[in-house]
Amino acid sequence: MQLFFSPTQLDHDPKKEISDGKLVDAVEVPKRAEMIFDALMKLPQIEHKPQQDFGLAPIAQVHDRAYIDFLAAFGALWAEAGRSGEGFPFVWPGRDFRTDRVPNHLDGKLGHYSFDAGTPLTDKTFGAAYASAQSALNGASALLQGDQASFALCRPPGHHAGKDYYGGYCFFNNAAIAAQYFRDQGAQRVSIFDVDYHHGNGTQSIFYDRADVQFLSVHADPMDEYPYFLGHADEKGVGQGHGHNFNYPLPLGTTADALMAAIEAGLAEINSFAPDYLVISLGVDFFEGDPISQFKLTYADMPAIGTLLKTANVPTLFVMEGGYAVDDLGRNVAALIDGFLA
């Protein structure tokens, strides 16, 4: 199994985030990727090779140009405004505000292109997010060339990012970019299974009206957990996309049995859809030791999840999403992948 990762992804190195009404230490840190990389490299089936640059075009197949340009320009705009440290939005358009005009002022732009105040933006974010998306594209390319599975160690993560907004530590939606790339390279149908503690709101929104990309997500019930405003079971898709979106919200405190039952339900839908490729948005923030999450899966539960995902029996791209128990992160991911490869 090929592993894709570039050191440029480490350049996004935020120190603080807003949580619980305070500036606290950031949890989405470069060390996460280092821990996962080191642990995966210890698996005998993993190989890591230098990767290709697919450019901005496949990213722009998912994200608006103006949004991409804003992220690229952010560092200069922040410095020009005489500010230092990380950028945070603090004002958003309310329900009946206008969103058809992008404000000139930086604070207006930050609110226009984001949905939370928990995601620090730095002058290095664009470059790192670009590199993260390239890892996903390399992973997709490996499957298009005939590999049965590949692992894109995406970081920053992607599944909360929509076509023109960031949030949830996500800037470019790596899984969506990979899925769209499969379609643009001739695949007829692609499934994205989001197995992260949080609902993949960005990915859902990007494909909500489409019949060619099926989206499924297991996650903590949005009534009780971030991102709060999307991820309910009655979100089925719209128009052509109706019947192609599946959410499996689960209660806080969920253990392996219930998470695996939801994954099995999702796998049955994937089997009916019969996709050419499967993208798994993988976050191991369902781990009991995760500092921001409230599911109760143990290290010992990880291999069985990997083994279960393998039963999809479709060429599979893993795209890394969340997981913040940094010291356990590498071994949790490696144990899950070991179960998948076994």
Tell me the HSE value of 151 on the side-chain side, using a 13 A CA sphere.
27
Q: Is the dihedral of CA 242, 180, 59, 119 positive or negative?
A: positive
Nearer to ligand SP5, 187 or 198 (CB): 198
**Whether 334 contacts 39, CB under 8 Å:** yes
Q: Per-residue string for binding with ligand SP5, 87-126, x by CB under 6 A?
A: -------------------------------x--------
Nearer to Zn ion, 20 or 100 (CB): 20
**Whether 171 contacts 259, CB under 8 Å:** no
Q: Contacts with Zn ion in 303-322 (CB under 5 A)?
A: 322
Nearer to Zn ion, 70 or 286 (CB): 286
Q: How far apart are CA 228 and CA 225, in angstroms?
A: 6
> How many residues at the interface with Zn ion, by CB under 5 A?
6
**Buried (b) or exposed (e) across 204-225, using 16+ Cβ within 10 A?**
bbbbbebebbbbbbbbbbbeeb
> Considering all CA atoms of the chain, what is the largest pairwise distance in Å, rounded to the nearest integer?
55
Cα separation values, 290 from 40, 284, 332, Å: 19, 8, 11
> How many residues at the interface with ligand SP5, by CB under 6 A?
16
Q: Does 290 contact Zn ion by CB under 5 A?
A: no
Annotated catalytic, 160?
yes
Q: In the complex, what is the shortest distance from the CB of residue 126 to ligand SP5, in angstroms, rounded to a whole number? A: 18
Q: How far apart are CA 187 and CA 260, in angstroms?
A: 28
Q: Which of 196, 290, 301, 328 binds ligand SP5 (CB under 6 A)?
A: 196
Q: In the complex, what is the shortest distance from the CB of residue 29 to ligand SP5, in angstroms, rounded to a whole number? A: 13
Q: How far apart are CA 52 and CA 182, in angstroms?
A: 16
Q: In the complex, what is the shortest distance from the CB of residue 275 to ligand SP5, in angstroms, rounded to a whole number? A: 23
Q: Per-residue string for binding with ligand SP5, 161-180, x by CB under 6 A?
A: -------xxx----------
Nearer to ligand SP5, 198 or 296 (CB): 198
Closest residue by beta carbon to ligand SP5: 322
Helices 30-41, 326-341: inter-axial angle, 10-degree rounding: 40
Q: Does 226 contact ligand SP5 by CB under 6 A?
A: yes
DSSP-assigned letter for residue 292: T
Q: How far apart are CA 67 and CA 122, in angstroms?
A: 15
**Whether 188 contacts 222, CB under 8 Å:** no
Q: Does 283 contact Zn ion by CB under 5 A?
A: yes
Q: Does 196 contact Zn ion by CB under 5 A?
A: yes
**Per the structure block, which two tokens stand in for 73?**
């320009």
Q: In the complex, what is the shortest distance from the CB of residue 60 to Zn ion, in angstroms, rounded to a whole number? A: 26
Q: In the complex, what is the shortest distance from the CB of residue 160 to ligand SP5, in angstroms, rounded to a whole number? A: 6
> Quick one: which segment of 36-44, 191-199, 203-211, 256-264 binds Zn ion (CB under 5 A)?
191-199
**Per the structure block, which two tokens stand in for 105?**
């002022």
The residue among 264, 233, 237, 269 whose CA lies nearest residue 251 is 233
Nearer to Zn ion, 63 or 198 (CB): 198
Catalytic residue, from 12, 63, 112, 160: name it. Answer: 160
Nearer to ligand SP5, 220 or 312 (CB): 220
Q: Which residues are catalytic?
A: 160
Q: Kindly list the residues in this chain that would bind ligand SP5 in the complex (CB under 6 A).
A: 19-20, 118, 157, 160, 168-170, 196, 198, 226, 283, 285, 292, 321-322
